[in-house]
Amino acid sequence: MTNIKNRRWVLDHYPEGMPGEDTFRLEEDVPIAALGDGEVLVQAHYLSVDPYMRGRISPAKSYAASIEPGQLMVGGGVGEVIESRSDKYSAGDFVETMGFGWQEFAVLGDRGLNKVDPDLAPIESSLGWLGMPGRTAYFGLFHVANIQPGETIVISAASGAVGQVAGQLARNHGCKTVAIASTEAKLDWCKEIGYGEGVNYKTEPDLAAALARVCPDGIDMYFDNTSGPIQDAVMMNLALHGRIALCGTISLSATFGQPDIGLRLNRQLLINRARMEGFLVTDFAAHFEEANQALAKAHKEGNLKFREDVMDGIANMPKAFIKLLNSENFGKQMIKI
């Protein structure tokens, strides 16, 4: 297998604000290292494109170390084992990992891999509803915010990978759900999968007033995938003992690493005795099986639909990523290799 050549994207330089295609550099004809004990060679079938990647290409402190210029871009992927020196995986097995990288082939240790059963669901589901985004939705709703039937739940980036799962899980739990998204087409899709209400943050002249109309009893829980002015508008409608689960800050993509100046919302939290909490899916690793079972059950019962936005070919990775940061994707963004 050593005659296989790899193609991969490395970081060219830290971008100021919104990344461009020249933020990354494609390396071709990269030789593949020989396998060590416990390692497998995996050929990517799907690579994941996620908002968190913006934080990794910044020198600003984040929850994980930045990658440096010249290094392989980080990212999740699912693919097929084509060579193995592991006793856990054999050629022909499908595996998923958040540590795949933006590349066609990866040499991976067998300890960070998750086996994927292609008969259970299409393998790309392991990057979406049955993977990191789906579990993120589950933990944010049930572990961080402890949502209750009858509560009003507002979700930003509502048709995104995390948002669409969160909306359906909350609906399945007996909550009233409100989607915030950037286009009417996205909001239509949100309604189709079961969101009760939808608000277009690009066209509403007064987002806080729009939310007040659809949430007359206030917002009990906000699943925040965006931060920024959308959060401000939600906070103006917070219900007593509201909870805000901070999942992402994609609205800051264009100004990433710079101070975020805007409304400080301490009085809203104080008045409503509300709680705002940041969380990472990986903090809940001990509960992944619980989440997987809940997600698989909802899907099997027909109560969890999932929309993917698939582009073809590794050459498109930067394009797909920038599309995502600009909110131009429609559903979970990934690349088919």
Q: Which is nearer to its own copies, 103 or 249 (CB)?
A: 249
In single-letter form, the type of residue at position 278 comes to G
Nearer to its own copies, 135 or 171 (CB): 135
Query: Please, what is the end-to-end C-alpha distance for the chain in angstroms?
Result: 19
CA distances to 60, 199, 271 from 126, rounded to whole Å, are 30, 29, 41
The phi and psi torsions of 72 (rounded to 5 degrees) equal -60, 135
- Residue 70: left (phi > 0), alpha (psi -120 to 50), or beta? left
Closest CB 123 distance from its own copies, rounded Å? 30
Question: Nearer Cβ to its own copies, position 247 or 334?
Answer: 247
- The DSSP secondary-structure symbol of 33 reads P
CB of 176 to its own copies, least distance (A): 23
Task: Pull the structure tokens for residue 57.
Answer: 């290409």
Q: Which is nearer to its own copies, 130 or 161 (CB)?
A: 161
Binding-site ranges for its own copies (CB under 8 A)? 61-63, 224, 227-228, 231, 246-249, 252, 259-267, 269-280, 283
Q: Give the span between the Cα atoms of 257 and 268, in whole angstroms.
A: 25
Contact 41/32 with Cβ under 8 angstroms?
yes
The Cα 187–Cα 180 span in angstroms is: 8
Q: 271 or 285: whose CB is closer to its own copies? A: 271
Q: How far apart are CA 96 and CA 288, in angstroms?
A: 14
Task: Provide the minimum distance between the beta carbon of 272 and its own copies in the complex, in angstroms, as a whole number.
Answer: 7
Q: Min. distance of Cβ 172 from its own copies in angstroms?
A: 26
Shortest Cβ 248–its own copies spacing (Å): 8
Write down the least CB distance from residue 174 to its own copies, Å.
25
DSSP character string of 168-198:
HHHHHTT-EEEEEESSHHHHHHHHHHT-SEE
- By C-beta, is 261 or 286 nearer to its own copies? 261
